[in-house]
Amino acid sequence: MAERKPLVLINGQLQELPVGDTVPGSGVGGLQNNLAATSAPTANNDTSEGYSIGSRWVDVTNDNTYTCVDNTDGAAVWVQENGSGGGGSMTDAQVKAAYENNPNTNALTDALLTKLNNIEAGATGDQTGTEIVATIDAELGQTDWKTPGSGGGSGLPAGGDVNEILKKNSATDGDVSWVLASDLLGTPKAAVAPSYNNEGGTGNRSGVILLSTTISFVNDFNDLINGLDNNGPYFATGAAAGEELVFQFIEKKVIEEVRWRQSNATTHATVKWQGSNNGLDWTDLCSEYVLGGATSQTNPMDLDATNSYTLYRMLGVSGNWSNNPYLYEVEFKIGTPAVDGIVGVPAGGTKGQVLVKSSDNDFEAEWVNLKDIVSETANFSISDTHLEGRKHVELTGVSTVTIPENLTNTQPVVFEQVDTTEVSFVAGTNVTINSLSGHLKIAGQYGAATLVPKGNNTFSLIGDLKA
């Protein structure tokens, strides 16, 4: 019986071992192969055993075939042709490089993997606008986020104009509107009419005024603004010319008048007041005058009582300071200027009162009753006080009301006959009273007549009248 040669798998076919080949041994084409192994190759099946790149290894026990791709001594790499590698398997870097070397593959970095892991479950890349809106509705639990100005989202209200800004009108969500920034001025500050009662005027003002001086004082000169009449600071004797006492305010102030208070009526040097907003350029606010001469001396800012400054100083002009009286307080009739022409509203007032000008000067206004009720109980002549406005005169036991000449106020006044005493209006010298049919008497109890000044000693009398 002829000798049977070993069967080997060559190119996918079982064949007898070629003549001259061994197992293991030199293979086809001069390559060392092992075509009848009973296990997978290892990293030690390397060049020391004659294997080369391209050598083949057949594990006939496990039916696997391998090709050598690296025959480095002690680190051989065999690639399993029908599964995972055997022996010295490819390193992670080799696997990665082999994968990425194929067409249509991309590098899988840690950063890319993090992004992929952070994708929400169920997310798709082809959502329609309707699907996106539905998702937001479900997330917020409401649908009004799409409505401009609603509380559920960042919708903007309709309207508005160029350069307008969005203003929150109340604490309610979505209550906003377009307005000009100039209308807000960051909560604009209205003018405050000058008064000694305003902040910085009297009392302890150490928190709103910074005091500095070049004048020599005995004791602490800061007591001039502490609100106390105590025997504290007084002048050290010396020349006054060029010496200054500076009052620095946190914000611009309008000062109409200054009040100097001391322990006796001793006079001091000649001084004047000046204002500045930079400490370099000073504007005269009043004429020169002698300081003191009374325990309470007021001096108006007769040169400039309308402009506002942060710095006010009393400047010595001539003469000497007196060390006789204790110096109590320096007080100011002080106000705050308007911002961009906003009309000032004074503090105080009660419900139902109205604001009226109290003089022809800027910033001077006061809260008054809409109607002042005045009582007269005997015959009288009216005065300009009756013609100030808002006057209602109740007449009890009055039979004659005389209108004299040269009255200057121009506001109407109402007269009411409260009792049964008949009331007649009498024109004084050079005065003319015009009325319907020349009637000049109030018609009866609880009747009323209004006297209206017309100028040039002429008046109109209208209302419940009789002959």
Q: Is cis: bond before 404, omega within 30 of 0?
A: no
Asked if residue 440 lies in contact with residue 418, where contact means CB atoms within 8 angstroms, the answer is no
233-254 pLDDT, tens digit each: 999 988 999 999 999 998 888 8
183-226 pLDDT, tens digit each: 554 444 556 778 899 889 999 998 899 999 999 999 999 999 99
Burial (CB < 10 A; 0-12, 13-18, 19+), residue 116, is exposed
For residue 6, the model assigns a pLDDT of: 54
| Residue indicated by tokens 């400039």 | 304
**Residues constituting the chain:** 467
88-142 pLDDT, tens digit each: 556 677 677 767 767 777 777 788 888 888 887 777 777 787 888 888 888 877 7
For residue 369, the model assigns a pLDDT of: 77
For residue 175, the model assigns a pLDDT of: 79
Burial (CB < 10 A; 0-12, 13-18, 19+), residue 423, is buried
Domains defined for the chain, CATH in brackets? 8-100 (no CATH), 152-184 (no CATH), 192-336 (2.60.120.260), 372-466 (2.60.120)
The three-state secondary structure class of 202 is coil
Asked if residue 189 lies in contact with residue 198, where contact means CB atoms within 8 angstroms, the answer is no
| Euclidean distance between CA atoms 383 and 406, whole angstroms | 10
DSSP letter string, 414-427 = EEEE-SSS--EEEE
314-356 pLDDT, tens digit each: 999 999 999 989 999 999 999 877 554 444 566 677 877 777 7
For residue 388, the model assigns a pLDDT of: 85
For residue 131, the model assigns a pLDDT of: 81
The dihedral formed by the CA atoms of 308, 311, 317 and 320, expressed in degrees to the nearest 10: 130
| Euclidean distance between CA atoms 232 and 222, whole angstroms | 10
For residue 243, the model assigns a pLDDT of: 95
DSSP letter string, 345-414 = --S---TT-EEEESSSSTT-EEEE-S-EEEEE-S-EE--GGGGSSSEEEEESS--EEEE-S-------EE
pLDDT-derived band at 454, boundaries 50, 70, 90: very high
Q: What is the pTM of this model?
A: 0.38
**DSSP assigned state of 204:** B
| Euclidean distance between CA atoms 298 and 332, whole angstroms | 9
